[in-house]
Amino acid sequence: MRDYEEIISIIGEWGPFQKLLFLFLSLSSIPNGYVGMAMIFVADIPAHRCRIPWLNSSSFSLDLNHSIPLQELKGEIILSRCTLFKRHVGSAISFANETEGCLDGWEFSKDQYTSTIVTEWDLVCDEAWKAPFTVTLFFLGVVTGSFFSGIISDRYGRRLIFFATMAVQTIFGLLQAASNSWEMFCVFYFISGMGQIANYCTAFILGSELLIRNVRINYGLLGVPFSYALGYTALPIFAWFIRSWRYLLIALALPGFLYIPLWWFIPESPRWLLSHGRVKEAEDIIRAAAKKNGITPPDVIFGQESDKLMEHKTQDMYTWLDLVKTTNIRNITVIVIAVWIVISMTYYGMSLNTPNMDGDPYLNCLVAASTEFLGYGFIWVFVRYLPRRVTLPTTMIMSGALLLLLNFIPDDQHTLSVTLVMIGKTGVAGAFGFLYLYSTELFPTVVRNMALGATSMSSRIGSTVSPYIAYMGTYNKILPYIIMGVSTILTGVLTLLLPETKGEKLPEFIHQVKPIRCICMKQYPVKDQRQKENTQMENGEDNIQE
């Protein structure tokens, strides 16, 4: 009995049909690269101080240092951002040593921005928590989208959800720009986060199910990640020319309309159609693809084998509890979830911390985005030539170590510190992209989609925390790197326990999951291990003791 990939291989592996799909599905990920990252500039906090109306109306000049106390920020002495001396009005204006809040609002520097949401709604001082919380709400939307996108696409199809979520990103991006309150902005940004991750995941699934063999691997490791990095790279260029947050969001949303023609080029997934008994529609797509590739398909493509091709429906018998049912899969699940959380926290923490770095924020963001191309490229090479157990811990430990080195770099060595940050981000970005591949190889077929959804959803815990880690950099530029560096190194060491998967047959069932590699744990030969696990599964034992 032939499997799905063997059947659809009749249309070839890399013809005009696959090239167009690879190109269009990859390019669809460009907006995903700047939708979330736009807050680097949209929610940045310009230099500010209390507004003092009488300075402009008074007939005499008044020194700011007499009305506003000084504070230390990142080792520099500046005018206080949130307080001023109490003013006594009598025969002469005088100031007491007591301070009070900014009663008349704030004056924001416009050297870098015309406006941000911070300057629009005074999200500073007592309201400062709202700026990072805005990004947290976006990632909560990402969590929600992660949870529902798989369920919805499994029920209604990949193609419909793919275009619907692209429309959500575009429309709600425009609505954000029209927001007249911070609360309204947050609601629209939350929904935009739902669309962003759902669109990314659906594009990934569509490509995985329409492309085969090496083309699918290149699509997952190069096509989608490179397009995401391209969108990320475009962000600082847009922001450089557009300094108003409203116009910036409009400019970032409008390219979404360019993807409307893709409706006539991207088909539904034949595998999904088969799983819902729509064999004729699946065959029509394969025939059309064969025609584009100049190949004459057989009269009957699937035939009686269509029932066999619905085998992934057996996953309905499994639940999320199966991810912790046996010792082997429970160990894998816990470790992979920990890695996802830390990698996500570090990746987004470093990205959102760009404005707090030394130097020009636009240039720093551009360089940080460009390093992603290097990260994904290096990972692609590592995947081809190095074991999985070497690739992941090496990139994580090296990246974490570089971040910790920043604590020992003198303050005047700005170029060196930025260089270390960018090299560290290269490794983190590569590890992030590699996790998708490694996770699918670690889990068995019967729960693979479920496991990838659960572990990637858990990563949103890290991304939800990341805005506050970046916010710490407003007051201490080294502290975020210490937190991210230590976490990344410890998790990198933990990944050394994961089993090797390169060149090995993927596990089909839960009892075939490999044990973690630990010197203190007795290791059974592969044959004996499989026999032992099979016996225990037959006896109904939930926990397999290695």
Per residue in 165-201, pLDDT (tens digit) is 899 999 999 999 999 999 999 999 999 988 887 788 7
7 and 29 fall within a common domain: yes
55 and 159 fall within a common domain: no
219 and 164 fall within a common domain: yes
Average pLDDT over residues 142-159: 76
Average pLDDT over residues 198-207: 80
Would you state the pLDDT for residue 230? Answer: 92
Task: State how far Cα 133 lies from the chain centre.
Answer: 17
Structure tokens that stand for 315 in this block: 């996953």
C-beta of residue 24 within 8 angstroms of C-beta of residue 266: yes
Task: List, in sequence order, every residue forming a beta bridge with 50; answer none if it has no partner.
Answer: 106
Total domains in the chain come to 3
- Which has more pLDDT, 95 or 125? 125
Q: Is 497 helix (H, G, I), strand (E, B) or coil?
A: helix
383 and 350 fall within a common domain: yes
pLDDT band of 416, cuts 50, 70, 90 = confident
How far is 143 from 460, CA to CA, in rounded Å?
Answer: 6
pLDDT of residue 546 exceeding 70, the answer is no
C-beta of residue 84 within 8 angstroms of C-beta of residue 69: yes
pLDDT of residue 523 exceeding 60, the answer is no
Would you state the pLDDT for residue 317? Answer: 60
Q: With 0-12 CB in 10 A as exposed, 13-18 as middle and 19+ as buried, what is 249? A: buried
pLDDT of residue 542 exceeding 60, the answer is no
Phi-psi region for residue 171, left (φ > 0), alpha (ψ -120 to 50) or beta?
A: alpha
Domain end, chosen from 71, 86, 108, is at: 108
187 and 269 fall within a common domain: yes
Asked which of 52-61, 215-224, 526-535 is least confident by mean pLDDT, the reply is 526-535
- Which has more pLDDT, 464 or 532? 464
Does residue 418 lie in a domain region?
yes
Does residue 43 lie in a domain region?
no
Greatest mean pLDDT among 18-22, 201-205, 428-432 lies in 18-22
Does residue 115 lie in a domain region?
no
55 and 148 fall within a common domain: no
Q: Is 178 helix (H, G, I), strand (E, B) or coil?
A: coil
Would you state the pLDDT for residue 93? Answer: 52
Does residue 113 lie in a domain region?
no
How far is 5 from 3, CA to CA, in rounded Å?
Answer: 6
How far is 376 from 394, CA to CA, in rounded Å?
Answer: 15
Task: State how far Cα 270 lies from the chain centre.
Answer: 28
Domain end, chosen from 286, 311, 336, is at: 311
The pLDDT tens digits for 376-414 are 888 888 888 888 888 888 888 988 898 888 778 777 777
Does residue 116 lie in a domain region?
no
Does residue 114 lie in a domain region?
no
- Which has more pLDDT, 9 or 180? 180
C-beta of residue 203 within 8 angstroms of C-beta of residue 28: yes
pLDDT of residue 521 exceeding 50, the answer is no
Does residue 293 lie in a domain region?
yes
pLDDT of residue 128 exceeding 80, the answer is yes
C-beta of residue 338 within 8 angstroms of C-beta of residue 23: no
pLDDT of residue 533 exceeding 60, the answer is no
The pLDDT tens digits for 309-351 are 555 454 456 667 777 888 888 888 889 899 989 998 888 888 7
DSSP-H helix ranges across 310-447: 327-352, 361-385, 388-405, 414-442
54 and 127 fall within a common domain: no
pLDDT band of 270, cuts 50, 70, 90 = confident
Question: Domain range spanning residue 95?
Answer: 48-108
The pLDDT tens digits for 250-269 are 999 999 999 999 998 899 88
Would you state the pLDDT for residue 246? Answer: 94
Q: Residues with Cβ < 8 Å from 355, sequence gap 6 or more?
A: 40, 41, 44, 45, 361, 364
- Which has more pLDDT, 481 or 521? 481
Kindly write down the DSSP assignment for every residue of 47-96, as one continuous string. Answer: -EEE--THHHHSSS---HHHHS-EEEETTEEEE-SSEEEEEEESSSEEEE
Domain end, chosen from 277, 311, 345, is at: 311
4 and 143 fall within a common domain: yes
pLDDT of residue 461 exceeding 90, the answer is no
pLDDT of residue 536 exceeding 50, the answer is no
How far is 140 from 151, CA to CA, in rounded Å?
Answer: 18
16 and 152 fall within a common domain: yes
In CATH, what number is assigned to the domain containing residue 192? 1.20.1250.20
83 and 164 fall within a common domain: no
Does residue 42 lie in a domain region?
no
460 and 494 fall within a common domain: yes
The reported pTM is 0.77
230 and 94 fall within a common domain: no
Q: Residues with Cβ < 8 Å from 127, sequence gap 6 or more?
A: 121
